[in-house]
Structure 1
């Protein structure tokens, strides 16, 4: 009889713990993306060089700036909050010169800006048709400084800019970029070629060379006149500058990909992965991703990690056999089961327990067999008594779990009373939450929902 009850109890314990652990660990396979740390790099440095065009030069058409003069450069540092939105701090330089057929002038402009960035490639799902091309929209305010040799002071102004950057992925660390950005300067006091917008008239000096007419020399002369300043006819709040540039972006960080190119695994792929993980090739009830013994023999009883509980098939769980071997090598299995003192030690050691489902006070049917060992011991020792200690897992409040653990202890007490033991010999105590499981994985909580025994 004793040989029958011992394996039944431990087989039941293993099966119930395995079922609960597998069920609860599956929940943890795919954590909520809300709390999941980003699996991509967020920082990048961008260097660009190219041309510019100052679209309006309000003097006359002969003073227009050179179209796409090759004197533009900018440097930016960008941070992506996620795969779609980010922020960029940048500095730019432009040198604006005259067309070949215009009066000479040279103007420089420095700007320092802060721009918002939208990864249109991810917003518009470019990944559906390409993995190596994307578009970034960027825009924001800037502080600009305008300099020209013909003006007495630096012209400082507020600017707004916006643009599109085409990205061509070269590797996980580099991307080639082609950018077009429009900038408008508000409040320019001077034109691009250095004319004051505040002067109503301009002084124009014309030199007329000497001439010979009918053998008579007419001396040259210099004529000075006042003409209306065309720069006053145009608003100082409309001063566009166009930049077109080619550049290189470097992504830094210890992740494999940058946010510009990172793709979240789609739901169908996640489901496929979970289904693959939950396969049980050896049909032992433990999914492959948890199975530490993936080739268990048919019908073998295994623990929560898929390891065979009774590898030699003698009806005694391996954990008990190992305990006996380590502590009572001379007695053997049969000697232990007939020895009251050894059985007492087994009970007090915590090996024999009764387990419960989540938020339940009715024990698993298969784990009730462990109660019979306590009953047998009490029948062999009429003067002995037993403490029945109930526990709960860390989920829930302390007061609720205290009451739950008491109900569990009372339920086991009634089972023992029903097997012929006087209630006066049984002291049921609820212990509340088992402190040793606080902070443990959810998969370990099954082991906390139990009743243990202490011989008195």
Structure 2
């Protein structure tokens, strides 16, 4: 019983520890600047710089949790010609809505580092490419685009991190080459599909907003569990609750009679039993199920009652039972006196035999409860044989669920988890 209660309380404490509200900031502002490269389309003979300095972007990001989020970002810059190539200069901008995946948390990078992280992002948006020179100078080429990339992070503090991003952008419906010297989709050909490719590589900073101590980028879900010290304190408190000061098998926090005398027979609430109501507790009553005066130690005068009749009636009418904890086939400690009582009855009356009848409550599968009820009856059988009762005088059987009690009531279900006796 104590093990069952201890396990239940410890599980409850851990579950409560994991149900706190989100303990991290969700908003950030991302500022980056760096390089770009126009890949295609380019007019034959024109080439862009291998790594052209001239790109910047500003983003606002929101994380739904520590693994996934979204961001809206604006980027702008210009492409220019490589050395010893025909000159050109083309301005551009883009506006994108993207989904963000915190790959470091998804892949559990915290197992080897808590200062380096990786984000992935993908989305779509609109943009404009405006050549400043050549045939299509000042033509405002409106496009749609797709963007995908990776952002490496180095944590500088709880409010800021260093970013390094590489992104590939694909423009759709672009009409002119990046150099502005030729058309790729004007006239009868109409608009082309996603036919322009460029990329950016930037460095920057993320500034974290909010009142929490850390941001979703760096939040580790396991931190919501209790620390070793907190868990040790919780276990200590639970152990204190489960102390059984009077040794009656019922923990103090459930015991409604915490000073029960040693050896007393008690109910599930730790209260001393007086089964026959004669004012003498069962542990002091030599005839606990037959009323009698204190002068005869609770037994009736020998010439006024047939003991077998009274004891048999008490047993067969269900006043003597062995009780069990939930899903257990081990008798509860306070039930040992019931086994002793029936064993003593058999020893004093060698001409009778007893059937042990096991029951279970209605929780759980029916076939499982049938087997559990039989294991309970077999457990009492084994104790009685070990106490000296001939096995030929005993039989046992599992009767499965006791449906006579209200299964919504915990106390009623306790009464159902039992082994009863039938004298034959």
TM-score (norm 1): 0.54
- After superposition, the Cα gap between the structure-2 partners of 1:190 and 1:439, relative to the gap in structure 1 and judged at 3 Å, is farther
Paired position in structure 2 for 1:182 = 166
Pairing 1:321-400 to 2, within 5 Å after superposition: 322=271, 331-333=279-281, 338=287, 340=289, 352-353=321-322, 368-374=336-342, 389-392=357-360, 397-399=365-367
C-alpha contact 2:25 2:215 (8 A) present in aligned 1 = no
Pairing 1:199-210 to 2, within 5 Å after superposition: none
Deviation at 1:189, TM superposition (A): 3.8
Please list every run of 5 or more consecutive structure 1 residues that lacks an aligned counterpart in the other structure: 1-16, 201-235, 280-287
Deviation at 1:154, TM superposition (A): 0.8
Paired position in structure 2 for 1:247 = 206
Paired position in structure 1 for 2:102 = 117
Pick from 122, 143, 153: which aligns with 1:140?
A: 122
- After superposition, the Cα gap between the structure-2 partners of 1:194 and 1:64, relative to the gap in structure 1 and judged at 3 Å, is farther
Pairing 1:168-317 to 2, within 5 Å after superposition: 168-170=156-158, 175-187=159-171, 188-190=174-176, 196-198=182-184, 237-250=196-209, 258=216, 260-262=218-220, 264=222, 289-292=238-241, 294=243, 296=245, 301-305=247-251, 311=259, 313=261, 315-317=263-265
Q: Distance in 1 between matches of 2:103 and 2:57?
A: 23
Paired position in structure 1 for 2:301 = none
C-alpha contact 1:43 1:77 (8 A) present in aligned 2 = no
- Post-superposition CA distance 1:53-105 (Å, at most 9, x none): 44459798999999446x5311223345xx6xx34432221233699xx9987
Looking at CA atoms only, which structure, 1 or 2, has the larger radius of gyration?
1
Q: Distance in 1 between matches of 2:123 and 2:155?
A: 23
Paired position in structure 1 for 2:151 = 163
Deviation at 1:363, TM superposition (A): 6.7
C-alpha contact 1:385 1:455 (8 A) present in aligned 2 = yes
Please state whether the residue corresponding to 2:281 is helix, strand or coil: helix
Deviation at 1:451, TM superposition (A): 0.5
Are 2:370 and 1:402 equivalent residues in the alignment?
A: yes
C-alpha contact 2:28 2:208 (8 A) present in aligned 1 = yes
Q: Distance in 2 between matches of 1:339 and 1:63?
A: 102
Q: Distance in 1 between matches of 2:180 and 2:319?
A: 92
- After superposition, the Cα gap between the structure-2 partners of 1:193 and 1:90, relative to the gap in structure 1 and judged at 3 Å, is farther
Bigger shift: 370-379 or 140-149?
370-379
Paired position in structure 2 for 1:229 = none
Deviation at 1:51, TM superposition (A): 3.3
Give me the CA root mean square deviation: 6.2
- After superposition, the Cα gap between the structure-2 partners of 1:451 and 1:126, relative to the gap in structure 1 and judged at 3 Å, is closer
Q: Distance in 2 between matches of 1:191 and 1:65?
A: 18
Q: Distance in 2 between matches of 1:367 and 1:62?
A: 90
Q: Distance in 1 between matches of 2:77 and 2:26?
A: 29
Paired position in structure 2 for 1:107 = 92
Paired position in structure 1 for 2:142 = 154
- Post-superposition CA distance 1:263-322 (Å, at most 9, x none): 637x9x87x98888778xxxxxxxx634326594xxx52425257887353642465994
Q: Distance in 1 between matches of 2:48 and 2:263?
A: 104
C-alpha contact 1:107 1:193 (8 A) present in aligned 2 = no
Paired position in structure 1 for 2:72 = 91
Q: Distance in 1 between matches of 2:248 and 2:344?
A: 27
C-alpha contact 2:323 2:415 (8 A) present in aligned 1 = no
Please state whether the residue corresponding to 1:21 is helix, strand or coil: helix
Q: Distance in 2 between matches of 1:122 and 1:178?
A: 20
Deviation at 1:39, TM superposition (A): 8.1
Matched length: 366
